Structure 1
Amino acid sequence: MKLPRQIDLLNLFAPRYGTEVTRDVAYGPAPYHRLDIYRPAQAGRRALPVVIFFYGGSWQSGARGDYRFVGAALARLGLIVAVPDYRLYPDVRYPDFLHDAALATAWVIGQIGDYGGDARSVFVAGHSAGAYLALMLALDGSYLTGAGSDRGVLAGAIGLAGPYDFLPITGAVYRRIFGGAADLIRTQPIAHVDGDAPPTLLLSGARDRLVAPANTASLAARLRAAGASVDTRIYPGVGHIRLLLATLPPLSLGTPVLGDIARFISGVMATRAIADPVGRRPDMAGRDNPG
């Protein structure tokens, strides 16, 4: 008898109320170009903000069906949530998974209106390697341009425990994944920061031993120096996986990941609704916040 995986148990006990899901939606021509879309069960007629959530797994593992608990949790915040698959190592290497992420994002921007989403309010988000994908799309416009879209359309970016500044690459498998790049510096999200970056929320756990919280601090500092809007949260006593599990109601006490995401999105939407008279994005963390 095959024993259930831990993530299967998480999905089994995750709340099922209040959401609907459309599975196996094609966003591109390849068999792996599929995504699931989560919606509030009582969405009404108003178009809702959209989150595209990229899962982690060190660019080597993961499947969209494993993250039903995340998609449903975000949908219960009143969001439309797309969870795409993307190709993984060893089948592909950098930057192929980024091209998949860009293709999925471009599809969502173009088609999410059919599912109740507002194409003008699309946020890219992810955990771990998925946060890398989200921030690369938000900071390096070439990927969305190549997919027929524009990073300027993005309303914001949300990174949970992401590797944004991880040179030199020391692990053998990561050298194989990224070693073919003509310029390793360009593989890093932090290398693409400019003042046109969309509003960004960076979340990390202070006890993360897999992706050091220094990644969050260094990217936040670079964004602020460029004049971009960035907010950070580093949760005491929280590790790499616990940060993601905090999206489950029983594990959210003391780690308000969902609340911080909801407040960030609400703040961005409110700022977009009330035009800044001088055309500058506010720094939601404050210029002197060290991240």
Structure 2
Amino acid sequence: MTTTNSSVRWRGWLGPALLAAGALLTSGCLRVAFTVANQGQPPADASAAYASGPRNGIDIYRPTGATGTVPVMVFFYGGSWRNGAREDYRFVGRRLAQQGMLVLVADYRTYPETIFPGFVEDGASAVAWARAHAAGWGGDPRCLFVAGHSAGAQIAALLGTDQRYLAAQRMTPTDLAGVITLSGPLDFAITGDLVPVFGDPARWPDAQPVNFVDGDEPPFLLIHGLRDKVVEAQDSRELAARLQRAKVPATLKLLPEGGHSTPLLGLYQPVQAPEVLPAINAFVGACKRASEA
């Protein structure tokens, strides 16, 4: 079993910050949170299946006002590897599409339908599908990014560090232009209700992205709130440090007043977390500039 540097307390709901719409709402269930976040957001421009099964769908958001080919972003949501639905993240798809990206929000199997590493394998399948089909939607497969929040960030990070998942799809981590983690569990303790999700303890070290850094990773952008009480910011600090020691470009953006949902709040209502969207745009824009050079 790996030695970890953090203790994770998981919740199956998004924090009240995500409900902010001019004034912070202090109560409400998950459904209310997404209803507020997605108010006025049209549904995805298209949907597809990247694999067979009800949990293997992907929603596609076309870029707004873009010319030529555009960067591609595959996004994985959080939910403790137990919950989540791609349609609840329309606000993410629309916000990033407004920045000129082709955005694909992917479902994946969750516990108890699967256990680790099933959801990471699904993530690799979704990324391979995006790479194969991006050009048909105006995307540039040379600028293919993966991103995720919370549990989704762990999936994204493993795709960028542990080459086995993309290798099964005839890809490598270097086929990715970059990985973005938002409030990511990247070096975490598997205790309590996480034990059944991650199965055999012999495989628990494989769930930690920090264990696979060897210098062949794509660039990383790690965004984390210093007041996150669900996943400690030390997780992002540790992965960033290991990437940097391996000479992998890694940008760590710490939000001094940020909690677990603050990076999502920066996508829902950018004025409330103004550091988030510019950091993502700069990170993604570097690939677009290089591809056009």
What is the TM-score when the length of structure 2 is the normalising length? 0.85
Partner residue, 2:65:
42
Partner residue, 1:157:
179
Partner residue, 2:130:
108
Verify: 1:11 aligned to 2:38, yes or no: yes
Verify: 1:192 aligned to 2:215, yes or no: no
CA displacement 1:127-182 (0-9 Å, x = unmatched): 00000000100111110111232222110000000000013x22x21111113253
Name the SS for the 2:53 alignment partner.
coil
Name the SS for the 1:65 alignment partner.
helix
Please tell me whether the aligned partners of residues 44 and 90 of structure 2 are also in contact (alpha carbons under 8 angstroms): no
Aligned pairs for 1:44-83 within 5 A: 44=67, 46-83=68-105
Partner residue, 1:206:
226
Partner residue, 1:252:
271
* Cα pair distance change 1:4/1:85, threshold 3 Å: closer
Instruction: State the alpha-carbon separation in 1 of the partners of residues 100 and 30 from structure 2.
Output: 34
CA displacement 1:265-288 (0-9 Å, x = unmatched): 1234445666xxxxxxxxxxxxxx
Please tell me whether the aligned partners of residues 194 and 228 of structure 1 are also in contact (alpha carbons under 8 angstroms): no
Verify: 1:119 aligned to 2:157, yes or no: no
Verify: 1:180 aligned to 2:167, yes or no: no
* Cα pair distance change 1:3/1:147, threshold 3 Å: closer
Instruction: State the alpha-carbon separation in 1 of the partners of residues 31 and 241 from structure 2.
Output: 42
Q: What residue ranges of structure 2 are gaps of 5+ in the alignment?
A: 1-28
Instruction: State the alpha-carbon separation in 2 of the partners of residues 21 and 10 from structure 1.
Output: 15
Which amino acid is 2:33 matched to? Q
Name the SS for the 1:246 alignment partner.
helix
* Cα pair distance change 1:118/1:182, threshold 3 Å: same
The Cα shift of 1:39 comes to 1.1
Which amino acid is 2:109 matched to? R
Partner residue, 2:115:
93
Verify: 1:22 aligned to 2:49, yes or no: no
Q: What residue ranges of structure 1 are gaps of 5+ in the alignment?
A: 275-291
Verify: 1:234 aligned to 2:254, yes or no: yes
Verify: 1:265 aligned to 2:284, yes or no: yes
Please tell me whether the aligned partners of residues 94 and 180 of structure 1 are also in contact (alpha carbons under 8 angstroms): no
Please tell me whether the aligned partners of residues 235 and 255 of structure 1 are also in contact (alpha carbons under 8 angstroms): no
Partner residue, 2:20:
none
Which amino acid is 1:202 matched to? L
**Which segment is superposed worse, 23-32 or 55-64?**
23-32
Instruction: State the alpha-carbon separation in 2 of the partners of residues 55 and 240 from structure 1.
Output: 13
What is the TM-score when the length of structure 1 is the normalising length? 0.86
**Which segment is superposed worse, 87-96 or 28-37?**
28-37
Please tell me whether the aligned partners of residues 181 and 187 of structure 1 are also in contact (alpha carbons under 8 angstroms): no
Please tell me whether the aligned partners of residues 159 and 203 of structure 1 are also in contact (alpha carbons under 8 angstroms): yes
Name the SS for the 2:100 alignment partner.
coil
Please tell me whether the aligned partners of residues 243 and 255 of structure 1 are also in contact (alpha carbons under 8 angstroms): no
Which amino acid is 2:254 matched to? I
Which of 220, 233, 238 is residue 218 of structure 1 equivalent to?
Answer: 238
Instruction: State the alpha-carbon separation in 2 of the partners of residues 3 and 68 from structure 1.
Output: 15
Instruction: State the alpha-carbon separation in 2 of the partners of residues 3 and 39 from structure 1.
Output: 27
- Return the structure number with greater relative CO, CA threshold 8 A, min gap 6: 2
Partner residue, 1:287:
none
The Cα shift of 1:81 comes to 0.4
The Cα shift of 1:254 comes to 4.5
CA displacement 1:77-107 (0-9 Å, x = unmatched): 1000000100001111000001110000000
The Cα shift of 1:21 comes to 3.2
The Cα shift of 1:187 comes to 1.6
Please tell me whether the aligned partners of residues 243 and 257 of structure 1 are also in contact (alpha carbons under 8 angstroms): yes
Name the SS for the 1:162 alignment partner.
coil
CA displacement 1:30-56 (0-9 Å, x = unmatched): 222110011124333x11001101000
- Matched positions, count: 265
